Every structure is written in structure tokens, then in C-alpha cells.
């Protein structure tokens, strides 16, 4: 049996998976409030006690963590306790225990996704020998590279969400000035993320929108996107359009940086909620609109990932590679 986890600042998914040749099969998955525990070890202990007999024979464990991992230790921005692979391995007697960046974990799931778990925005012409890329907007913005090494994708994490936001239009230049005034610099994540939608709402509105009212900032992304999709408020429509165009442009930037001729995958919690906007044109126009490489970008497949537990699945895929001793970066 394999143990996998997707550890976020707010919630964590833990699961037991039956091994498989490529894609492990979930046998038990539970959701936990991350900050309800004093450590990941305590959470795992609670999970395994509730799992009973299936948890007795664990061959490998892998956890995707929302933050950078260094020397087998992860420190998350909004969680007060560190996560150490060595402590987990010793506590639960699982020699093959590994920590991954959350986008790196998601990337391990990409090669095993089924067609029904993807919504194709651009068919393109996939090159089997090419690289792929993953971009995912949610609470933050994550990016990962999938390097094609001898026909096998090897994911590599990045902190691309904290890179500088590149304005392409006069309106976006105004946005950069406002974000720079607020934050000192304009990061990609200040635009392409849930909080980024909140920033766009305040940028496009001189006074609160009647359809949003005095909503809490945490509720803004869902309210603004629904108002924009249903065209109830012109300023919310503009905010959503700015978001979609920026998302497409950054996905195109990532495609160029990685030469992602095998495909670009759009993950995270926001994309499945705004599929009509992503299909409408501005996303792909911004993705492709990069002379002199428009023709190249037009051939790159682009898909939205519909599987809501892709991070957990990816962690399980890596645990399966540990079991098979095929993981490219073993502890």
C-alpha cells in the first residue's frame, strides 16, 4: 500500500493507494483542516488509525507540500510547523518517504491523466519528444516544468508565480503602476491567483459593485468571476477579462521558456470554474500572441485539468515510483 498527501495551508488530503504499473488506485481518501493539527505527523497518525488494517503494510510515502522543499524539509508560508521527511519516515517506519513541491507533485500526475480528466482548449499537434509544462492558479500561482528525458517526463518545480508580471497593453501598464504602489513590485501572482482576482476587482472598480456588496476579500474571486461570466457588472467583466488574458499570456510565456511542444496543462482550482471564459478566445489569443513564434504556439496542445485531486494523485504516482525504485530524485 502507498501513502500520499497533498498538504495545503488550509486543507490537506491524505490517501491510501493500491500500487499499479503507472497509476495507483485510491482505496481511502480523507480531507483534514491543516491547522487543526500540531504537525503533519499527528495528522498522518490520525488518518492511519482510522484506516485500520490497510495501513499496516506501507511500502512508500510521498507528500506534495505548498512551499519550497530543501534538504528534505518543507517550510510553508501559512503553516507554523515544518515538515521533515526523516521524521515521518522514522515515526511511521516507511523508509521510502519523500517530500515534493505541490506543483511538482501535480506534474507527476500529468502523464497518467485520462482524456475525461482534461478539457482541451487547443488541440495542437503534440510532439512525443517534446517537453510539457504545468501552470496552476488558486490561492497562489504555481508553475512546473516537465522535462522529456528519453521519453519520460521528469517534473521540476519553480517559483515562477513570484516572477515579475509583464504588462502587454496600456491598461495592464496602469495595473502594474497600481500594484507597484501597493506592493513595491508587481508579481505574476498579484494578478493570476484568487487574491489576484481581488486585486483586479479593486483596480477596475471605483466603488463597490452592487452585485458584490461588502463581501469579504476571501469571497471576492468567486463573486467577481460569477458576475463576469453572467455579465452582471461591466467592471467585473473587465476584471475577469484581464485575468483570463494575463493567464493566457503567462501560460504562453511558460510554453516558450520550456519549449512545451508536448503540451501545456492548466491546473488549480480556478480554471475549471471559468471554463466558458477560457474557451471564449482571449485566453488563447494571449497565449499565441507572441511574434515571431505565433505559429509554434498555435501547435502546442493546451488543456485544463478537471481532476480536483491531482496533487494527491501526483504524490501517489511518485510514491509508486519510489516503490518501484524508479523515482528520479530518491531520498
Q: Between 67 and 37, where is the model more confident?
A: 37
Residues near 87 by beta carbon (within 8 Å), at least 6 away in sequence: 41
pTM of the model: 0.93
CB 251 within 8 A of CB 244: no
Q: Please tell me the total count of domains within the chain.
A: 2
pLDDT band at 331 (very low <50, low <70, confident <90, very high): low
Helix, coil or strand: residue 154: strand
pLDDT of residue 194 exceeding 70, the answer is yes
Containing structural domain, residue 183: 116-306
Average pLDDT over residues 86-104: 94
Residue 263, phi-psi category: left (phi > 0), alpha (psi -120 to 50), beta (remainder): left
Strands (E), 161-289: 263-267
Mind listing the pLDDT tens digit for each residue in 139-173? 899 999 999 999 999 999 888 999 999 999 999 99
Q: Are residues 126 and 101 in the same domain?
A: no
Rounded average pLDDT over 258-269: 97
For the chain, what is the mean pLDDT?
A: 94
Is 218 a member of any domain? yes
Let me know whether 206 and 66 are in one domain: no
What percentage of the chain exceeds 70 in pLDDT? 99
Residues 209 and 272 placed together within one structural domain of the fold: yes
Residues 28 and 81 in one domain: yes
Q: Is residue 331 in some structural domain?
A: no
Residue 330 counted as domain residue: no
CA–CA distance, 288 with 298 (Å, rounded to integer): 6
Cα gap 226→176, rounded to integer Å: 25
Amino acid at each position: 500500500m502507498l501513502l500520499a498527501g497533498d498538504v495545503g495551508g488550509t486543507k490537506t488530503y491524505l490517501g491510501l493507494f493500491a500500487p499499479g504499473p503507472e497509476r495507483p488506485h485510491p482505496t481511502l481518501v480523507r480531507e483534514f483542516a491543516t491547522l487543526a493539527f500540531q504537525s503533519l505527523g499527528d495528522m498522518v497518525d490520525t488518518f492511519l488509525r482510522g484506516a485500520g488494517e490497510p495501513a499496516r503494510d506501507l511500502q512508500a510515502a510521498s507528500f506534495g507540500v505548498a512551499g519550497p522543499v530543501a534538504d528534505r524539509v518543507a517550510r510553508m508560508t501559512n503553516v507554523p510547523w515544518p515538515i521533515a521527511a526523516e521524521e515521518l519516515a522514522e515515526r511511521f517506519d516507511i523508509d521510502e518517504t519523500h517530500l515534493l513541491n505541490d506543483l511538482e507533485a501535480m506534474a507527476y500526475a500529468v502523464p497518467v491523466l485520462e482524456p475525461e480528466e482534461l478539457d482541451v482548449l487547443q488541440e495542437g499537434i503534440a510532439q512525443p519528444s517534446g517537453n510539457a509544462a504545468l501552470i496552476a492558479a488558486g490561492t497562489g500561482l504555481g508553475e512546473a516544468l516537465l522535462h522529456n528525458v528519453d521519453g519520460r517526463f521528469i517534473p521540476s518545480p519553480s517559483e515562477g508565480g513570484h516572477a515579475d508580471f509583464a504588462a502587454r497593453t496600456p491598461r495592464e501598464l496602469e495595473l502594474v503602476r497600481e500594484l507597484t504602489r501597493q506592493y513595491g513590485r508587481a508579481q505574476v501572482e498579484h494578478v493570476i491567483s484568487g487574491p489576484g482576482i481581488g486585486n483586479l476587482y479593486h483596480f477596475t472598480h471605483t466603488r463597490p459593485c452592487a452585485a458584490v456588496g461588502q463581501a469579504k476579500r476571501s469571497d471576492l474571486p468567486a463573486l467577481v468571476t460569477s458576475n463576469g461570466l453572467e455579465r452582471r457588472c461591466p467592471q467585473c467583466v473587465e476584471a475577469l477579462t484581464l485575468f483570463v488574458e494575463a493567464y493566457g499570456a503567462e501560460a504562453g510565456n511558460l510554453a516558450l521558456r520550456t519549449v512545451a511542444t508536448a503540451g501545456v496543462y492548466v491546473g488549480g482550482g480556478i480554471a475549471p470554474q471559468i471554463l466558458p471564459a477560457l474557451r471564449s478566445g482571449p485566453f488563447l489569443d494571449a497565449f499565441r500572441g507572441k511574434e515571431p513564434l505565433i505559429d509554434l504556439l498555435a501547435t502546442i496542445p493546451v488543456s485544463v485539468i478537471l481532476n480536483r485531486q491531482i496533487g494527491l494523485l501526483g504524490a501517489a504516482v511518485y510514491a509508486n515510483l519510489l516503490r518501484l525504485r524508479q523515482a528520479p530524485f530518491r531520498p
